[in-house]
Chains A and B, each alone.
Chain A
Amino acid sequence: MYGDYEAQRHWMELTIHLPMREWYKYDLQYWGLDYPPLTAGSWINASWFALDASRGIESPESKAYMRTTVLVFDSLVYLPALFLFVRTWHANRSARTQEVALLTLLLQPTLLLVDFGHFQYNSVMLGLTLFAMVCFARGHDLLGAVSFVLSLGFKQMALYYAPAIGSYLLGVTIASCRPRHFVRLAVVTAASMLILFLPFLPPFAPLSAILDPITRIFPFNRGLFEDKVANFCGWRVRLQTRKDDDARAGVVAAREPAPTLPLLPYALLTSSLSFFLFSFQVHEKTILLPLLPLTLLLSGVTSTEMSETWEIGMLVSNVALFSMWPLLKRDGLGVSYIAMTVLWNRIVGYNPFRARPNSLIQYLSLVTHAGCLVLHVLELLFSPPARYPDLFPVLNVLLSTPVFGLAWLWSIRRGVEVSWALGGLGPSSGSGTVPNTPTHHKATVSRSENGDVGEASGAAPLGIGRETGARAVSLGYAQGRRRLAHSRRTGSISSVLSAGSHHEFEQK
């Protein structure tokens, strides 16, 4: 049958021809509309969408038109969001680092392949979330909240971020002791949600009409697996409830005092990875959501520093792409997959096979990448035995899932570390991670002396590596400081930072 391309085309067909309230009801057997209203509303009229008659149409012109819409939305929403993000969150970095960061974010191969190859509009949803992050960093919490609701309204997958963003906003209001701020946030959020769903609400439609979008958008009546998905369900280890994860992600973010901004990427990563790993009916494309905060973190470090964030980030990013292989192969994107993988790793300057591995993570990434390669070669050479036609996708899942699990654990640890660096957590919870931090810094410093540094294409001047000690809060460091100027805790964060880097230089 047809894939996502036909699904999106069919939705355009639906939304043009039907009155709004019937959007979520029409002929559900054939790619029923299951995205929130904002997606459904965003189409332009054209002649390739005659109701019913146009099913399966794929002329070169209509294809070009559909692809162009992706490109247009991408450049209208995602590109400005990325640009603003780099300008805001890396404001204290050099122009060159900012450019490298932008390039890193822009060329994230998984997103490009899914949006432009497989055909979806994920970049819009991610872009709106990014806008929310930019607004938070600039102190416009209300605007950020609206932006995030829009993101939710475009694609409900953004719910994966909701615990983190929610806890962040909650943390801001609690720490600043401004109940009016909280009320304003709540009102704005609810209002924008209401406006989105307005056509389905009582004055315009019978009350029962609201049930149609909801049942379509949250398809609990689908199977547990969309296909073979690289999550713990696939492993049949155990099924955790959503509440556990909500709580866990919430703990990291919400217990913080006001300047929790540097934590936001980690919280987003933890929260979305939790959903990805443990929740119900997860599609493999959902890995895009954890990938966004991960790429944001990656954009803050360069290959010359050989930091842990860099190693883990690149490993997970590559494995995420690898986990999409069955999907991409089905779409005939095999060559594009190879090209994008090579190109991205070259551009960001990552090569798991070159450097002599001298840390656990580097060994791990060497082994994982080798495993991926071996699997690809095996799949190329042998066809799977008749008894297990899905052998290779299953092996793919078995290889990817532990990496994602590791990334999840790492992001939780990292979140705790950063919050400790910010001075937020008490000694009881921080004590477990204290010994880790100095050793890691030591390893980082010694590694960057090994001389592997100059090879990267985007080789940043070595001077940037000076800040490695403060890398724990690399993202949003400046912003955090700027916000802190108005806050009580100014002293503590700068003392933590200076102590960290001072400490490191002594060891060196």
Chain B
Amino acid sequence: MQRVRATTPSSPSSRAFPEMQSGHPEPIPENEETKSVEKKPESFVRQWSSRLRLEPSEWDILIASTCLKLLLFPAYRSTDFEVHRNWLAVTHTLPISKWYYDTTSEWTLDYPPFFAYFEKLMSIPAYFIDPRIVDLNNLNYDAWSVVAYQRSTVILTELVLGAVLLRFVRGAVNPTTQRIISASLFLHPGFLIVDHIHFQYNGFMYGILLWSILMAREDNKLASGFLFAVLLNFKHIYMYLAPAYFIYLLRSFCLSPSGALLPTRFISLANAVIGVFLVSLGPFLLMGQLPQLLSRLFPFTRGLNHAYWAPNVWALVTAADRVLLKVVKRGALAMSVNDAGVASTSRGFVGDTVFAVLPNVKPIHTFIITIAFQTIYLVKLWRAPTYKSFVTALTLCGWTSFMFGWHVHEKAILLVLVPLSLMAADNHAYFRTFMIASVAGVFSLFPLLFTPAETLVKVVYSALWAVFAFAPLHSRVYEFPRSLPFVIIDSLEKLYLAGFPVLQLFVTLFPMLTSSQSSASPSPGANAEVQVEAVKSDKLEPGMSALEFLPLMLTSVYCAVGLVWAFLRLSVIYIRQQY
């Protein structure tokens, strides 16, 4: 923030909205000193180095977490690992014109071009470490060299997240609280599970997202928009957040408070965004490959639910359908039953979902519902375009898409949890929402890791994280519930949270109990493996009973209840909040 202030002391954007200052009081304590330093030419370098200078506690967190991640090198890795290895090979061996056409592996390139460039960049050192990593036909290569290399790139690129979180602390209103939040984000079990065990590059990309949000906080909205455009070209899932960005930037950057368009700003922002997209998509545009690229990015051939139901509204609806079907079959209710739906239920989690009793859902329905909900928040954001309001609207936009989207993946919950964390310490209402959403969201990620060895790691690490993140924040913002309804809600929420250990116990013990009853399956663990195999490979296992999927179904539904509740909670808080 200081840099922006110092270089453009009369930046019009900071004067445009006086009310913004009240919504987001500027931290000025050490400004006098730094300003005088910054006037010197070499100040930029020094400023960055001073901002990134770590305190001992920050070193501790960095070293401890890096060591833990190193220890997780040999842990379970999903097919995403091979996906990314294949992309290294594709971008290294093939010319750019064939990137989005290659089908050597089933894991074709389906991320936007910036990610492809990023993979190209990483494939260069990979070639020198072990040429077989980037061999296109060397499918399912899993030598130690490739494991160590790819895992290290995740750790290294995640430093972007660390640096941005540090800058969040440096300019914060309340650095102590922000430090807790930053640490909790850097050590988030979601990143550990999805990035460092399951394997993806979320830490890196959420680093860019937070950087963009940081720029919004520091009133550098041009940079914010630019960075978000860059992020979109890394991974298009961030489109879920785009409406909030669009409205916020348009209202608070391109329009004056009275509603008049500020042409210079609008054009500069538009140029920046268009420029980013040109750099990203330009080559493919010139080669006429845009349709092919888009068909890779947006495959509309998938079902409503992912193999494992993401904990959203559709998980609840699907579960309700299953229950209703049981009721109808017993003859208690007279409703028409869709045969395709019955077949769909007998296959448990597999394939696309067809409802047996309830009316079926089409992509257009989910789209309309999502837009409808988002509109509510966007109207509110339009009326109160402050930073805090923006972060909340951003969270809610992502959350709406997660709740009602078509074929949502459970990993997308990070899209909610990360911006939500930024507001965790604002007051007790936000904190409670954050807590419920984090617990339910992280728990819903657990089925990603189904191997027995990682079970302990994910459970213990998440529990430790929860203790160390929630306890200090809770002590800072706690408020006693003041009226009877609030007391009841408070107790119910506590009861809900207390259910998670029980659920985890059930999920762990259930396969063992069922396997001891049926002597056919050799061991408790093998059972779980078959189950997951069936889920993963979309194959019909004729002999499997629906009970096999009970733990997964329960996890999904229980987490969905919490996430839907937290979603409604935050919506109400946001709509009623005075900015």
Contact = CB atoms under 8 A, between A and B. Distances in A.
A61 B63 contact: no
B471 interface: no
Interface string A57-96: 0011101110110010000000000000000000000000
Interface stretch (A14-22, A303-311, A340-348): A340-348
A350 B317 CA distance: 57
A455 B56 contact: yes
A457 B57 CA distance: 7
A202 interface: no
A336 B526 contact: no
Contacts of A347: 64
A409 interface: no
Given A61-B523, A332-B74, A335-B148, A342 B453 contact: no
Contact of A335 (B59, B60, B64, B71): B71
Contacts of A61: 452, 523-526
B70 A338 contact: yes
Nearest to A349: B56
B9 interface: no
Interface in B121-159: 144, 148
Given A332-B74, A340-B67, A346 B522 contact: no
A59 B456 CA distance: 17
B73 interface: yes
A395 interface: no
A71 B525 CA distance: 19
Interface string B450-485: 011101100000000000000000000000000000
B67 A343 contact: yes
A377 to B, nearest CB: 16
B525 A59 contact: yes
A341 to B, nearest CB: 9
A339 B70 contact: yes
B542 to A, nearest CB: 24
Contacts of A336: 70-71, 73
A68 B454 CA distance: 12
A47 B525 contact: no
Interface residues of B, number: 26
A457 B455 CA distance: 30
A342 B451 contact: no
B392 to A, nearest CB: 37
Contact of A457 (B56, B74, B453, B529): B56
Contacts of B74: 332, 335
A60 B60 CA distance: 33
Interface string B17-45: 00000000000000000000000000000
Nearest to A456: B56
Nearest to A459: B56
B284 to A, nearest CB: 38
A339 B71 contact: yes
Q: Secondary structure of the A side of the interface?
A: helix
A339 B453 contact: no
Interface residues of A, number: 23
Interface string B199-221: 00000000000000000000000
Nearest to B526: A61
A54 B99 CA distance: 47
A47 B56 CA distance: 49
B129 to A, nearest CB: 12
Contact of A339 (B67, B144, B522): B67
Interface centre among A332, A339, A347, A457 (most CB of B within 10 A): A339
Contacts of B453: 60, 63-64, 67
Contacts of A346: 59-60, 63-64, 67
Interface in A301-351: 332, 335-336, 338-340, 342-343, 346-347
Contact of A64 (B57, B452, B526): B452
Contacts of B522: 47
Interface string B354-378: 0000000000000000000000000
Interface string B38-79: 000000000000000000110110011011101101100000
B497 to A, nearest CB: 26
Contacts of B456: 68, 71
Contacts of B57: 457
A64 B67 contact: no
B320 to A, nearest CB: 35
Contacts of B451: 60, 64
Interface in A182-228: none
Contact of B67 (A48, A65, A342): A342
Interface in A42-64: 47-48, 59-61, 63-64
Nearest to B57: A457
Nearest to A116: B71
Contacts of A47: 522-523
B525 A457 contact: no
B130 to A, nearest CB: 14
A379 to B, nearest CB: 16
Interface string A237-261: 0000000000000000000000000
A67 B453 CA distance: 8
Contacts of A342: 63, 67
A335 B64 CA distance: 14
Contacts of A48: 523
Nearest to A333: B74
A339 B196 CA distance: 15
B441 to A, nearest CB: 26
A343 B67 CA distance: 6
Contacts of B68: 339
Interface in B490-533: 522-526, 529
Interface centre among B57, B522, B523 (most CB of A within 10 A): B523
A338 B59 CA distance: 17
Interface string A426-460: 00000000000000000000000000000101000
Contacts of A65: 452
Contacts of B60: 346, 457
B508 to A, nearest CB: 12
A407 B515 CA distance: 54
Given A59-B525, A60-B452, A338-B70, A332 B144 contact: yes
14 contacts: A47-B522, A48-B523, A59-B523, A61-B526, A67-B453, A68-B456, A71-B456, A336-B73, A339-B66, A339-B71, A343-B67, A346-B60, A346-B63, A457-B56
4 pairs of A and B residues whose beta carbons are closest in the complex: A61-B525, A64-B452, A339-B70, A343-B67
Interface of A: 47-48, 59-61, 63-65, 67-68, 71, 332, 335-336, 338-340, 342-343, 346-347, 455, 457
Given A339-B71, A457-B59, 8 more contacts: A59-B525, A59-B526, A61-B524, A61-B525, A61-B526, A336-B73, A343-B67, A457-B60
